[in-house]
Amino acid sequence: MFVSDCHREFYDVIINQHVLLLVASDVDALCACKILQALFQCDHVPYIHSSQHLDGKNLKLPFSNIKINNDLDVPAYDDIFRDEEDEEEDSENEEDVIERTMKRRKRWEWEARRREILFYYEQYEYRGISSAMMMFDLAWMSKDLNDMLWWAIVGLTDQWVQDKITQMKYVADIGILQRHVSRHNHRKEDEEYCLSIDCMRIAFEYDLCLALYQHWSLYESLCNTSYTSKRLQEFLADMGLPLKQVKQKFNSMDMSLKESLWEMIEESANKFGIKDLRVQTFSIHFVFKNKFSASDIVYATVSLMENAEKEGPETTNVIKALDSLSREKTEAAVCSL
């Protein structure tokens, strides 16, 4: 069913029931699940996964967003799917040859029509609003927690990093979340909390759209960023950075190089026709700990979900990824990359 009022048509309906939570294997869905988990804890809503009863800390595995318009105009099933036909044996019979030729022609025509239908159906939106943002919108009027806001930010950033939404959509949603961040940062907090080791502050900033560059070497980051990986050597040569510097940890680079890095990268990016290398984003900072950008968390969570090194059910990776979104696990998740 389609829900237009999440609070009245969704949360008020399930709040007095036992709930089974199912989550898609993407970061946005995991963040939505974390927000809903926190809501359930606050409102004492019992929820289960499979046959196991879960307490507030052990949610194992509800949301995957979908394009919603007033006019869905969903293609007919037969226009998109068809049963595979068995290949007929070669025959020199003229009638059989003509029949096979006609079938192949009809198949080609159907495939061309299918591509056209899917193009027009998908051309405007690939994904709808972030599921995590939907859950935060549901939660913040009554349970306005910094962690929930951060999960909403990570969920939106996942859509951007994975190229699931346009830049225009991303910037519009960033504006919505920025207002919430400003509101949180201007709330009067007691001095004891501000100095607490559990203090968590979210900041809006501009950053380079390079994967984990503040935690890896610049060389590793450029190798793993789609914008720059294809012409890496040319890009590095144009920037004029010493190879010794770009292959060591970013934090160990000469301060003079780091100070001029943005200018050098953006100048080279313009020469290579790379646009939007600087992006609006958010970072999170814990007292006495490192600062992490929202994209850092996305890459770390995706890495945990896609980890194929250890044997075991795929859901185990999803459980670890979900758990890594807790603030006490954030640093370990990013540093493990």
Is residue 1 domain-resident? no
Q: What angle do CA 242, 248, 250 make, to 5 degrees?
A: 100
The reply to whether 110 and 134 lie within a common domain is no
Please tell me whether residues 133 and 189 are part of one structural domain.
Answer: yes
Is a pLDDT exceeding 80 seen at residue 207? yes
Which domain covers residue 90, as residue numbers?
77-122
The Cα–Cα gap between 271 and 268 comes to: 5
The two structure tokens encoding residue 204: 């809006």
Question: What is the C-alpha separation between 299 and 249, in angstroms, rounded?
Answer: 18
Please list, in sequence order, all residues whose beta carbon lies within 8 angstroms of the beta carbon of residue 150, skipping any fewer than 6 positions away: 200, 202, 282, 284, 327
pLDDT digits 0-9 by tens, 68-92:
444 556 788 788 887 655 445 555 6
**Which one has a higher pLDDT value, 36 or 337?**
36
What's the mean pLDDT in 229-245?
Answer: 78
Phi, psi of 311 (to 5 degrees): -75, 150
What pLDDT, on the 0 to 100 scale, is given for residue 246?
82
Residues 130 and 245 in one domain: no
Q: Are residues 164 and 263 in the same domain?
A: no
In the chain, what percentage of residues exceed pLDDT 70? Answer: 78
**Domain count along the chain:** 3
pTM attached to this predicted model: 0.72
| Crossing angle for the helix pair 146-161 and 294-305, to the nearest 10 degrees | 70
Do 288 and 153 belong together in one domain?
yes
CA distance 308 to 312: 9
- Average pLDDT of span 134-138: 91
First to last CA, the chain: 39
Which tokens is 328 given?
Answer: 């006490």
Q: Mean pLDDT lowest for which of 35-44, 86-95, 130-139, 235-244?
A: 86-95
Shared-domain flag, residues 85 and 195: no
Mean pLDDT value across residues 216-235: 79
Do both 54 and 108 map to the same domain?
A: no
Residues 106 and 223 in one domain: no
> Are 304 and 194 in a shared domain?
yes
- 266-285 confidence digits (pLDDT tens): 888 888 777 777 889 999 98
Q: Is the pLDDT assigned to residue 213 strictly greater than 70?
A: yes
| Average pLDDT estimate for 240-254 | 83
Across 174-200, average pLDDT: 72
Among 20-24, 139-143, 305-309, the least confident range = 305-309
Both 82 and 186 in one domain: the answer is no
Same domain for 229 and 195: no
